[in-house]
Structures are given as structure tokens and as C-alpha cells.
């Protein structure tokens, strides 16, 4: 879907879509985790029904969080492709914007991580552990630099592809 309106208005909430259209995420726990649980890789804590940053309780169960699981499997939930002459002229500045955006998001949401950043032709591809992070990166760049933003949700899967160029 091409974005011809403000990026903040492009996302429909999952509860606004029929159940059969909602994304299925194989990386979310099938059963309720025993609380508290700590991810042995990133030290985020599952407490009160969500992963969060907090002091690790002494007797916490060890459970790999969905983000670390995706990173280990190299199975992104989001792909962000950035390219174009403007991107090439401002590559480092845009990469700093991405880093700042991700750090801001990750402070509140431990499951929002970058898996990798790869060069691809004249651009880069950023892979993420979470769909909203990928969309948010695209929106942040669009708001800062304008250009063209395309966000494609893969129907029936927990996957988003974002393409920004300028």
C-alpha cells in the first residue's frame, strides 16, 4: 500500500480486523509463562503478563524471550529497505536516526530489537524482531525527510515490509 497520508494514520489496530485476518506469531508463547521469568540472553523479565526491564527476581524462571528467539533463528518480523540518492547522501545521519528511534522504543519495550543491518545494492535492509518497530522506523524517517514510504503487511503472518526511498 502506498502511503499518501500522514504515516501515523496508516495502521489499523489488530482488533479492528476480523479474527481470520489477524496475524499469527509463532514466536509468542503458546502457554502462559510462569512468572517471574528472565531471558538469559537480554535479561528482560516477564512479569505481570509482559516482558519488561526491571531488577531480575532471585528465583525467576529462565525463558528465552520472543525477541531473542527471533534473533537466534534469524527470523525477522520486519524488513525495512532504505535506498535512493538522498539516502546515499545522508546514510550515516539516517542510520543515527534509526539507532535513536530503536533505543527510545527498546527502553519501554524489550521485544523491539534490530536483528541486523545489511547493505543491499545502493541501500540497506534493516531487519527487526517486531512489526511495529519496522513500521515505526519507516515513519520516523518519513517524518524527518519525507520521500516515499510503502508499508506492506503480509496477510495471515506476523510480517511487515517497509520501503522508504528519496
Q: What percent of the chain has pLDDT over 90?
A: 75
Q: Cα-atom radius of gyration of the chain, to the nearest Å?
A: 17
What mean pLDDT value characterizes the chain? 86
C-alpha distances in Å from residue 114, one per residue of 17, 70, 100, 101? 27, 10, 12, 11
pTM beyond 0.85, yes or no: no
Helices 131-145 + 91-108 axis angle, to 10 = 140
pLDDT digits (tens, 9 = 90+) for 14-68: 444 444 444 556 666 667 788 999 999 999 999 999 999 999 999 999 999 999 9
Q: How far is CA 48 from CA 32, 37, 132, in A?
A: 11, 10, 22
Contact 64, 72 (CB under 8 A): yes
Q: Where are the domains of the chain?
A: 25-72, 76-166
DSSP track, the chain = -B--S-GGG-PPPGGGS-GGGS---TTS-SSPPPSSEE-TTT--EEETTEEE--PPPTTPEE---HHHHHHHHT--SEEEEEESHHHHHTHHHHHHHHHHHHHHHHHH-TT--EEEEEEETTEEEEEESSHHHHHHHHHHHHHHH--EEEEEE-TTSS-EEEEEE-
Please report the pLDDT score of residue 28 as a whole number: 67
CA-to-CA distance for 61 and 120, rounded, in angstroms?
40
Mean pLDDT along residues 87-100: 96
Would you mind telling me the total number of residues written for the chain in this entry?
166
Amino acid at each position: 500500500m502506498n502511503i499518501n497520508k500522514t504515516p501515523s494514520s496508516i495502521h489499523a489496530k489488530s482488533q479492528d480486523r476480523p479474527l481470520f485476518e489477524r496475524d499469527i506469531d509463532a514466536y509468542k508463547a503458546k502457554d502462559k509463562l510462569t512468572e517471574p521469568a528472565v531471558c538469559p540472553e537480554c535479561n528482560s523479565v516477564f512479569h505481570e503478563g509482559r516482558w519488561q526491564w526491571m531488577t531480575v527476581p532471585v528465583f525467576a524462571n529462565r525463558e528465552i524471550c520472543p525477541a531473542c528467539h527471533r534473533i537466534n533463528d534469524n527470523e525477522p518480523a520486519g524488513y525495512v529497505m532504505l535506498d535512493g540518492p538522498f539516502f546515499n547522501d545522508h546514510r550515516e545521519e539516517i542510520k543515527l536516526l534509526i539507532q535513536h528511534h530503536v533505543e527510545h522504543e527498546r527502553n519501554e519495550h524489550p521485544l523491539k530489537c534490530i536483528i541486523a543491518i545489511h547493505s543491499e545494492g545502493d541501500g540497506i535492509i534493516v531487519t527487526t524482531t517486531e512489526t511495529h518497530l519496522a513500521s515505526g522506523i519507516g515513519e520516523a524517517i518519513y517524518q524527518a525527510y519525507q520521500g516515499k514510504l510503502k508499508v506492506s503487511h503480509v496477510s495471515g503472518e506476523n510480517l511487515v515490509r517497509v520501503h522508504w526511498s528519496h
